[in-house]
Protein backbone atom coordinates (compact mmCIF):
# COMPACT_ATOMS: atom_id res chain seq x y z
CA UNK A 1 0.00 0.00 0.00
CA UNK A 2 1.19 3.53 -0.64
CA UNK A 3 -1.05 5.06 2.03
CA UNK A 4 1.11 7.19 4.32
CA UNK A 5 -0.38 5.73 7.50
CA UNK A 6 0.51 2.19 6.38
CA UNK A 7 4.02 3.28 5.41
CA UNK A 8 4.60 4.94 8.77
CA UNK A 9 3.18 1.90 10.57
CA UNK A 10 5.74 -0.30 8.77
CA UNK A 11 8.46 2.19 9.66
CA UNK A 12 7.65 1.76 13.36
CA UNK A 13 8.15 -2.00 13.03
CA UNK A 14 11.38 -2.07 11.04
CA UNK A 15 14.47 0.02 11.77
CA UNK A 16 15.80 -0.23 8.20
CA UNK A 17 12.46 0.86 6.81
CA UNK A 18 12.32 3.74 9.32
CA UNK A 19 15.82 4.92 8.39
CA UNK A 20 14.86 5.02 4.73
CA UNK A 21 11.55 6.75 5.30
CA UNK A 22 13.13 9.49 7.39
CA UNK A 23 14.92 10.53 4.20
CA UNK A 24 12.96 13.19 2.30
CA UNK A 25 14.24 11.77 -1.02
CA UNK A 26 12.03 8.71 -0.51
CA UNK A 27 8.95 10.90 -0.09
CA UNK A 28 10.00 12.93 -3.15
CA UNK A 29 10.08 9.74 -5.20
CA UNK A 30 6.69 8.65 -3.83
CA UNK A 31 5.23 12.05 -4.79
CA UNK A 32 6.68 11.65 -8.27
CA UNK A 33 5.38 8.08 -8.65
CA UNK A 34 1.88 8.45 -7.23
CA UNK A 35 1.02 12.14 -7.63
CA UNK A 36 3.27 13.11 -10.57
CA UNK A 37 4.80 16.03 -8.66
CA UNK A 38 8.33 17.05 -9.57
CA UNK A 39 10.64 19.74 -8.14
CA UNK A 40 8.83 22.47 -10.08
CA UNK A 41 5.48 21.24 -8.80
CA UNK A 42 6.79 21.17 -5.23
CA UNK A 43 7.72 24.85 -5.46
CA UNK A 44 4.04 25.66 -6.13
CA UNK A 45 3.25 24.59 -2.55
CA UNK A 46 4.91 27.44 -0.61
CA UNK A 47 3.47 26.57 2.80
CA UNK A 48 4.58 22.92 2.68
CA UNK A 49 8.22 22.49 3.61
CA UNK A 50 8.80 18.72 3.24
CA UNK A 51 7.98 16.09 0.66
CA UNK A 52 6.44 13.95 3.40
CA UNK A 53 3.97 16.72 4.26
CA UNK A 54 3.14 17.18 0.57
CA UNK A 55 2.53 13.45 0.14
CA UNK A 56 0.15 13.41 3.11
CA UNK A 57 -1.67 16.52 1.84
CA UNK A 58 -2.09 15.14 -1.67
CA UNK A 59 -3.28 11.78 -0.38
CA UNK A 60 -5.99 13.51 1.60
CA UNK A 61 -7.13 16.15 -0.90
CA UNK A 62 -6.10 15.18 -4.46
CA UNK A 63 -8.64 12.36 -4.57
CA UNK A 64 -11.38 14.99 -4.30
CA UNK A 65 -10.22 16.79 -7.43
CA UNK A 66 -12.64 16.41 -10.33
CA UNK A 67 -16.09 17.21 -11.66
CA UNK A 68 -19.18 17.21 -9.47
CA UNK A 69 -22.81 17.78 -10.35
CA UNK A 70 -25.43 19.33 -8.10
CA UNK A 71 -28.71 18.03 -9.50
CA UNK A 72 -30.76 19.89 -6.91
CA UNK A 73 -29.66 23.27 -8.33
CA UNK A 74 -32.92 24.31 -9.98
CA UNK A 75 -33.76 24.49 -12.85
CA UNK A 76 -30.85 23.08 -14.90
CA UNK A 77 -28.45 21.53 -12.41
CA UNK A 78 -24.97 22.82 -11.65
CA UNK A 79 -21.56 21.50 -12.68
CA UNK A 80 -18.68 22.20 -10.30
CA UNK A 81 -14.98 21.67 -11.00
CA UNK A 82 -12.70 21.18 -8.01
CA UNK A 83 -8.97 21.44 -8.70
CA UNK A 84 -5.71 22.59 -7.18
CA UNK A 85 -4.20 25.72 -8.57
CA UNK A 86 -0.87 27.22 -7.53
CA UNK A 87 -0.54 24.94 -4.53
DSSP state of 70: E
Q: If you count them, how many residues does the chain have?
A: 87
Q: What's the pLDDT at 87? A: 58
Longest dimension (CA), the chain: 59
Q: What is the pLDDT of residue 33?
A: 92
**What's the predicted TM-score (pTM) here?**
0.71
**What pLDDT is recorded for position 82?**
81
Per-residue pLDDT of the chain (87 residues; tens, 9 = 90+): 578 788 888 778 888 877 888 889 989 998 999 888 999 989 888 789 999 999 988 888 888 888 888 888 777 888 888 887 765
Amino acid sequence: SHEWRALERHARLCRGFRDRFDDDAVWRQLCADYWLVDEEGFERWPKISTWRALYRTLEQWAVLEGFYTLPSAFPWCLLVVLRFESG
